[in-house]
Structure 1
Amino acid sequence: MVEWDIRKLQILRTLRERGTVTATAEALRMTPSAVSQQLTNLAKQVGVPLLEAQGRRVRLTDAARLVLRHAEAVFEQLERADAELAAYVHGEVGEVRVGAFSTAVPALVVPAVRALRETHPGVVVRVRETEAGEAYELLAAGEVDLALSLAAQAPAVGDARFTQVPLLADPLDVALPRGHRLAGAGEVRLADLAEEDWIFGGSGPWSDITRGACEAAGFSPRQGHSAAGWTAILAMVEAGMGVALVPRMAAAVPRGGVVMREVGEQRPVRHVVGAVRKGGEDGPAVGRVLDALRTVATRYARDAGPR
């Protein structure tokens, strides 16, 4: 099989366009002897004459035209590769795998994907829903390129494997049954709910967040029921089985029998962070996704201000 040399094919192509070796040399900033040598070498490689004398000029043989007919398809594909590579370098194309915890998907990731489809349709986002803590494991294993998690679940700031990007402080509200004695209050003090049954997971970040907020208010919450999913937690609140601290993201879709009330004293929040492998933030497509997430998070924070 012939070992094709793109540079020599380009010289042959230019000769066809310019008509003489001298003009070809000028166009390519080569010497005429170098042009002739390269074309002679190409003829030896393909095993057929490519040029024939025509007075003081040369003309392409039928074999040379056959070679160029096939080479045009190669040049076209290389042009496309150049264009796609330039777009990749500028973050216009690329695939980014995002691992995100459940409430971050509809609140942050989906709006970011929608925005990117409008501004950078060549950037493809693949979403994988995961637990907040597991997101870092997937990131470290190379199974996702960008992880959305909670600061409470993040590795130490000094962990050399990751770069963390703060995105959002998501307010925590109290979910009360609609018939609760404090359902009509503008704000609720956690201390006023010290005798209530609380609904939260038996372990993990949400258990720690709920216990920490209640203990900061001066009491240890009595766990009436254990659940990890917000659908289950809000269903139990709606049924009057207890109260719960709920991030505003998780209560984006209202339930008729649940009233959300702001916490009046310390206004607890959970911190949402993005993370990439160290150096990954310099990837153009990843940078586009991070920018879109920041924009959505800023808008969310503004819209999710005091109720």
Structure 2
Amino acid sequence: MAEWDIRKLLILRTLRERGTVTATAEALRMTPSAVSQQLTNLARQLGVPLLEARGRGVRLTDAARLVLRHAEAVFEQLERADAELGAYLHGEAGEVRVGAFSTAVPALVVPAVRVLRAGHPGVRVQVREAEAGEAYELLGSGEVDLALSLAAQAPSAADARFTRVTLLADPLDVALPRDHPLAAAERLRLADLAAEPWIFGGSGPWSDITRGVCEAAGFTPHQGHSATGWTAILAMVEAEMGVALVPRMAAVPRDGVAMREAATERPVRHVVAAVRRGAQDAPAVGRVLDALREVAAGLGS
């Protein structure tokens, strides 16, 4: 039987995800030469070539992809073993490291911590603010145990490394200056604001969401100003510089801003959590997910 080495298999999987030996070494805090040596040893142990030259880099062979396809089941089972050991050793005690995007921290994570303190004080949460790309890198490398992101930025359901959990459909409201003629309209349609200057980021997910929602309503929004922070966006709306779509869980009341529901379109953004596949069975991680679901249900009601 071939000699299977979990540590070396993890290096091979990271190479598949990162694409180059240098990026793999950086992710695993190793030297490129150590990565190459470990993969050479793994190929020798398994008796099959794992890498082949491609230009100045390398690519995985079909044999390497076959090995990883079977190894994913091993990684999942090891996560489950860790979960059961955690239950045996710690019961409901333990620390869960959460990577979450900026608006999710005050709206979801902090209230979930309060829920846990009341019902499961032995479960501690360590928070790390991180946008989706970084959060999933941290989750994949084991530096956080749970990641929160918008569904549009989450790994696909086909990604064998992670399990996704839907948390919330967060309504997107329209922020208008308090004295805007439509601020008190009985029924507001996004198309009524087609001629207004819109405030949103120049690129990234929120730009895509704003453009997509407006285009679905029948118009392309004119970007009057570019900003990504909700404090800046709402300050500009208050100063009558434009209008904006704002997630309900990110909105902070301001005297000069009217928040209105788009009655016809009712746009939402979907928020999800993700854990490494199998890790959802860890008691502490499960408690944090339950607390997040409880908070999310309150926000959605």
Secondary structure of the residue that 2:172 maps to in structure 1? Answer: strand
Alignment deviations for residues 248-267 of structure 1 (CA, whole Å, 9 cap, x no partner): 0111x301111000001121
Question: Taking structure 2 as the reference length, what is the TM-score of the superposition?
Answer: 0.70
The Cα shift of 1:273 comes to 0.2
Q: Does 1:281 align with 2:280?
A: yes
Secondary structure of the residue that 1:198 maps to in structure 2? Answer: strand
- Show the counterpart of 2:105: 105
Segments of 5+ residues of structure 2 without an aligned counterpart are: 1-84
Contact 1:200 1:210 (8 Å CA) reproduced: yes
Supply the distance in 1 between the matched residues of 2:86 and 2:215 (Cα, whole angstroms). 55
Matches within 5 A, 1:89-168: 90=91, 92-168=92-168
Q: Call closer, same or farther: CA 1:211–1:106 in 2, change over 3 Å.
A: same
Question: Taking structure 1 as the reference length, what is the TM-score of the superposition?
Answer: 0.68
Q: Does 1:173 align with 2:173?
A: yes
The Cα shift of 1:132 comes to 3.2
Matching residue's letter, 1:271: H
Matching residue's letter, 2:204: G
Supply the distance in 2 between the matched residues of 1:86 and 1:199 (Cα, whole angstroms). 48
Supply the distance in 1 between the matched residues of 2:221 and 2:273 (Cα, whole angstroms). 30
Q: Call closer, same or farther: CA 1:267–1:114 in 2, change over 3 Å.
A: same
Q: Call closer, same or farther: CA 1:106–1:160 in 2, change over 3 Å.
A: same
Secondary structure of the residue that 1:102 maps to in structure 2? Answer: coil
Alignment deviations for residues 184-211 of structure 1 (CA, whole Å, 9 cap, x no partner): 1243111000000000011111001000
Contact 1:116 1:123 (8 Å CA) reproduced: yes
Supply the distance in 2 between the matched residues of 1:267 and 1:132 (Cα, whole angstroms). 25
Secondary structure of the residue that 1:187 maps to in structure 2? Answer: coil
The Cα shift of 1:133 comes to 3.4
Secondary structure of the residue that 1:188 maps to in structure 2? Answer: coil
Q: Call closer, same or farther: CA 1:219–1:94 in 2, change over 3 Å.
A: same
Supply the distance in 1 between the matched residues of 2:183 and 2:196 (Cα, whole angstroms). 14
Supply the distance in 2 between the matched residues of 1:119 and 1:223 (Cα, whole angstroms). 46
4+ runs deviating over 3 angstroms: 84-90
Q: Call closer, same or farther: CA 1:262–1:85 in 2, change over 3 Å.
A: closer
Contact 2:189 2:265 (8 Å CA) reproduced: no
Alignment deviations for residues 127-186 of structure 1 (CA, whole Å, 9 cap, x no partner): 111123332122112221000100010122211111000000000000001111101124
Q: Call closer, same or farther: CA 1:229–1:88 in 2, change over 3 Å.
A: farther
- Show the counterpart of 2:196: 196
Alignment deviations for residues 6-39 of structure 1 (CA, whole Å, 9 cap, x no partner): xxxxxxxxxxxxxxxxxxxxxxxxxxxxxxxxxx
Secondary structure of the residue that 1:245 maps to in structure 2? Answer: strand
Matching residue's letter, 1:220: T
Contact 1:87 1:93 (8 Å CA) reproduced: no
- Show the counterpart of 2:294: 295
Secondary structure of the residue that 1:134 maps to in structure 2? Answer: helix
Q: Call closer, same or farther: CA 1:86–1:141 in 2, change over 3 Å.
A: closer
Which structure has the larger Rg? 1
Secondary structure of the residue that 2:184 maps to in structure 1? Answer: coil
Supply the distance in 1 between the matched residues of 2:276 and 2:186 (Cα, whole angstroms). 43
CA RMSD of aligned residues (A): 1.5
Matches within 5 A, 1:1-307: 88=89, 90=91, 92-251=92-251, 253-302=252-301
